[in-house]
Amino acid sequence: MESLSSKRYKKEFVSTFPGDDSGSLQPRQTPGMLYSKAIPTPVEKPTLLAWSEELAEALGILKPTDQQEIDILGGNLVTDTMYPYASCYAGHQFGHWAGQLGDGRAITLGEWEAPDGKSWELQLKGAGPTAYSRRADGRAVLRSSVREYLMSEAMHYLGIPTTRALSLVSTGEPVLRDMFYNGNAAYELGAIVMRVAPSFLRFGNFEMLNARKEVDSLRQLVDWTISRYYPHITGEDKVVTWFKEVVERTASLMVEWQRVGFVHGVMNTDNMSILGLTIDYGPYSFVDNYDPNFTPNTTDLPGRRYAFGKQPSIGYWNLGCLAGALLPLVEKDQLLATLESYQEIYWTKYYTMMGNKLGLDELRVEDIALIKKLEEMLNIVQPDMTIFFQLLIDLPLSVESAEQAEAHFREALYEELTADQRESLYTFATDYLTRLNTNTIRRQDSQRRMCKTSPRFVLRNYLLHQAIEELEKGENTLFLKLQEAIKEPYSDKYDEFFQTRPGWATQKAGCSMLSCSS
């Protein structure tokens, strides 16, 4: 175990690629540069609010015991071997080319080598302006920082590839934010999260170099990414082989999001990880009542481009943008053929996942129709997604009437069912039980499979909102409880949270809808 202050940090990225070493924080274009040096701007009073013990243990990082260590987490101290920088990348935002973007409020301090020899980038989010902040202040508020800290860790414990969060500190300084971009700006408490990942490279890093026709740098970045993060890929066709693996990882990530009902909210190409990780937690949400058209992001209205049911197709669209960025390096036909493999990869993984959520012994051809019938029923009835799949685990092997089906799933319902909704639920239940009775595995094994696939606890927006309100008042009881609950999402240990979204949260700001400032 080593302390943050005594560690000798690696800096492979900045040592390999050209960057702007001036340290200027003036917003600007940086042609030819893959990063710009960015010293964090000190804050008034960094105070440690939360620390991820398990992550720190895995990385070999000692928990801060003095102000010097906390100052590193708050951006007030940069050690001699750190090289703080902001990465330069571009992206397509809401389907439109946005040009240069870059880390506007994220500063990577350096690369931490863990006891197992793997390197992890340590990055502060909210530590002040960079060359890519444009007209923003580079800061983050407590509201958004709590959401990122808790959800990135929650996704890890759900078994979903993600960036991680090591710490959460308050800054002691107010930050001015217009939460819904409607002219109602107000001061909020400032905070900083230390994010951790093997790499924060995005599709947009490659798009930037292609857009600027910096082909040599593009080739160098691709080769470096493959050798560092995909070392098993070699040979003359390594670029297209690598792209195929990125396609597969992205498809797998989309399946995982759909499995638990996670909605990212802002799937721009600059928010897509080249490693297939969930990255950049902003206006996200879990689905409460099942609705494929649900989007938690006010900026995504009315088009709902990034709605729950559209995420898999957007993953494919974004991969198309990445393929376009790789055209200088790979034949177009090869890229297109690889891109088209996404559909088969996704649907194969998706139906396998859904078969597990249903506790099926194997996925048979006829099971596809059953899964589609399930989706149709969920869309009609709109039960709470998380609770529905939990109740499905204990569905009696015989359901005699529509009323009995409704009674069994009542805990997942947000309102009384109409006759059509009740009949849809009953029809699915009877068809499902008919199939379940042909399983070649024991009921207990089927249920065990369902329990591993469907979480019992998810970090709902209204819980986050309540925890944030308490923290703003100096109370951390709910926050601490949620920090523990996220570690056991498949158990019934925290069944106090096993309930549908309360009525008061339906229209409350920060619970039902959020913005990119969230």
Per-residue pLDDT tens digits for 312-354 = 999 999 999 999 999 999 999 999 999 999 999 999 999 999 9
Q: From the candidates 103, 270, 288, 300, which is the catalytic residue? A: 270
What is the arithmetic mean of pLDDT over 258-284? Answer: 98
Phi (first) and psi of residue 163, to 5 degrees: -70, 160
Share of the chain above pLDDT 90, in %: 95
Residue 424: per-residue pLDDT: 98
pLDDT at residue 518 greater than cutoff 60: no
pLDDT at residue 419 greater than cutoff 90: yes
> 118-167 pLDDT, tens per residue?
999 999 999 999 999 999 999 999 999 999 999 999 999 999 999 999 99
CA Rg, the chain, in Å? 23
Residue 178: per-residue pLDDT: 82
Helices (H) then strands (E): counts for the chain: 16, 12
Alpha-carbon distances of 236 from 223, 331, 334, rounded to whole Å: 12, 13, 13
- Is 270 among the catalytic positions? yes
> 301-315 pLDDT, tens per residue?
989 999 999 999 999
What is the arithmetic mean of pLDDT over 164-182? Answer: 90
Tokens read off for 339: 């891109």
Q: What is the DSSP annotation of 54-114?
A: HHHHHHTBPPP-SHHHHHHHTTS---TT---EEE--EEEETTEEEEE---SSEEEEEEEEP
The answer to whether 196 touches 123, Cβ cutoff 8 Å, is yes
For all residues of the chain together, what is the average pLDDT? Answer: 96
Residue 511: per-residue pLDDT: 81
Give Dmax (Cα) for the chain.
Answer: 74
Phi (first) and psi of residue 492, to 5 degrees: -100, 15
Entry pTM: 0.97
For strands 47-51 and 164-177, give the pairing: antiparallel
* Confidence band of 265 (pLDDT split at 50, 70, 90): very high
**3-class secondary-structure state, position 317:** helix
> 287-305 pLDDT, tens per residue?
999 999 999 999 999 899 9
d(CA 128, CA 25): 9
User: Degrees (nearest 5) of the Cα angle 314, 197, 493?
Assistant: 85
